[in-house]
Structure 1
Amino acid sequence: MTSKDQASAPEIRFDRVSKVFGSPDAPSGVFRAVDDLSLDIGRGQLVALLGKTGCGKSTMFNMIAGLSEPSEGTVLVSGQNPFRNFDWFRGKIAIVFQNDRLLPWRTAIQNVELGLEMLDIPKAERRDTAKQWLSKLGLAGHEDDYPHALSGGMRQRVSIARAFATNAELLLCDEPFSALDEITAQKLRTEFARLVRENGKTAVFITHSINEAFDIGDRIVVLKRPARIAHDIAMSADVDLEEREKIRETIRASLSQ
């Protein structure tokens, strides 16, 4: 692939991907989580993968992250196979999980530094980078606080700062605000989306909440079980309130089936 082809290629590509768990001989039989799925996600897009529990969102997430490989078809990230070339993605993908996954024996700034340590960034540089990102996430003055002294929202801000600090091009988010109250979650969603756009990142955000998908996504991909695309909706700034409500009702109807 030439450099020109790489520049125009999608950041993430699912090409006729299926994922099957189990076997016909197993007591529980075969479970098909993803079925003949084709999906391209371009560089710089913020995409919400929306669907009910069990529709295959997490399976897709794991294949993008290189934690699982498809049973059929091809998954490419930045033109590479994330499962077979796992080491190539070191520092290129950052993940924000459902819970903050902070190390309780490390301070906020030490938790943000963790990814930078793994990338062998010099101590002074990683300390400065971590401090900058904590400040951007509204945590200036809390650098030396341990996780037990922080609220749930503050801990998730530390987790977000840790992801952005690595300067990874691709951010994968697995329902990172689902454990927070709605007011705190909405503030963090808005802030997260702003940071993604300001820093030119590509982000895939898994959610089962229609409201969250609307808050986050430049594009909403609605999935039905086993993971198949029911709707692929571009959410530009010029979509008015009436059109948004029509889209919302279409999604509700699809997910209720």
Structure 2
Amino acid sequence: MSVAAAADPAMGITLDKVTKRFPKRGSDEGFVAVDRVDLHIDPGDMVALLGKTGCGKSTIFNMVSGLLEPSEGKVSVAGHDPFHEFDWFRGKVAIVFQNDRLLPWRTALQNVELGLELLGVPHEERRKQAMDWLSRLGLKGHEHDYPHALSGGMRQRVSIARAFATNAGLLLCDEPFSALDEMTANRLREEFSALVRENRKTAVFITHSINEALQIGDRIIVLERPAKIAYDVRLDRATGEAEKEAIRDRIKEVLAL
């Protein structure tokens, strides 16, 4: 069975009164990173999770990805618990990190094939899909280059191709363009957004940049510390520049508090 046939559709996310505490010396309560967050993300949404460093964005990200268990409340993705049902999510969630995390001993093509290989996709099929995604991301002719021969932007394109190649329904993105120059990052944001919409994925995109959130998000959620939702706004293609400027001003007000 092909990955395309086996893949799940875009998946929704729900946080129900979720709190996350970490142990803290001298405190019985511990350090509260996330404080009773209620949040629902519809299948197919592209959400920018925006906030200052240390506001709890990454903690929410790690609970949604199944790497952390909430202290209280419930996290569910497509009706499943990502921490306790971690194996169910194999091939259904893909992560794009801040750094490309390519294996230096594998070519661009072999790096894109990695997720498919781990899922047991036959060689010919995974090679075809990897080649297709490298081509779609503008890397035709670089399939057999090793990471050291690629620019930072090209390496991140390989990382994005690797995420899309598995046809996962949910993409989790941890500031994937923050290490790139602004022109390269801008082009990749536009391409990434188009691919998410074209392929009908759900995407959660962590950022601390207002400009990036406005460019990426169908919905922007601004967090205050400890993580609580301070502002939640939807945008669409009809959202004009004047309205975007008003949203930008409101986000600045929230972040200044």
Tell me the TM-score normalized by structure 1. Answer: 0.94
CA distance in 2, matches of 1:138, 1:193: 15
Q: Which position in structure 1 is the counterpart of 2:127?
A: 127
Q: Which position in structure 1 is the counterpart of 2:158?
A: 158
Deviations 1:205-237 (A, max 9, x none): 000000000110000001100110011100111
Q: Which position in structure 1 is the counterpart of 2:221?
A: 221
- Equivalent pair of 1:153/1:180 in contact (CA under 8 Å): yes
Describe the SS at the equivalent of 1:190.
helix
CA distance in 2, matches of 1:198, 1:237: 15
CA distance in 2, matches of 1:133, 1:64: 26
Deviations 1:12-53 (A, max 9, x none): 000000000005646x97211000100000000000000000
Describe the SS at the equivalent of 1:159.
helix
Deviations 1:118-159 (A, max 9, x none): 000000000000000000000000000000000000000000
Q: Which position in structure 1 is the counterpart of 2:21?
A: 20
Tell me the TM-score normalized by structure 2. Answer: 0.94
- Equivalent pair of 1:10/1:40 in contact (CA under 8 Å): no
Q: Which position in structure 2 is the counterpart of 1:30?
A: 30
- 2:57 aligned partner, one-letter code: K
Describe the SS at the equivalent of 1:204.
strand
- 1:164 aligned partner, one-letter code: F
Residues 236-251 of structure 1: matches in 2 within 5 Å? 236-251=236-251
Structure 2: gaps of 5 or more residues: 1-9
Describe the SS at the equivalent of 1:74.
strand
Aligned residues with identical type, % of pairs: 67
Q: Which position in structure 2 is the counterpart of 1:5?
A: none
Report the number of matched residues.
Answer: 249
CA distance in 2, matches of 1:17, 1:37: 5
- Equivalent pair of 2:153/2:180 in contact (CA under 8 Å): yes
- Equivalent pair of 2:96/2:160 in contact (CA under 8 Å): yes
- Equivalent pair of 2:55/2:224 in contact (CA under 8 Å): yes
Structure 1: gaps of 5 or more residues: 1-8
Q: CA RMSD in A?
A: 1.6
- Structure 1 segments of 4 or more deviating over 3 A? 23-26
Q: 1:95/1:10 Cα in 2 relative to 1: closer, same or farther (>3 Å)?
A: closer
Task: Confirm whether residue 43 of structure 1 aligns to residue 43 of structure 2.
Answer: yes
Q: Report how far residue 243 of structure 1 moved.
A: 1.0
Residues 4-83 of structure 1: matches in 2 within 5 Å? 11-23=12-24, 25=26, 30-83=30-83
Q: Which position in structure 1 is the counterpart of 2:231?
A: 231
Q: Which position in structure 1 is the counterpart of 2:6?
A: none
Q: Which position in structure 2 is the counterpart of 1:4?
A: none
Describe the SS at the equivalent of 1:52.
coil
- 2:163 aligned partner, one-letter code: A
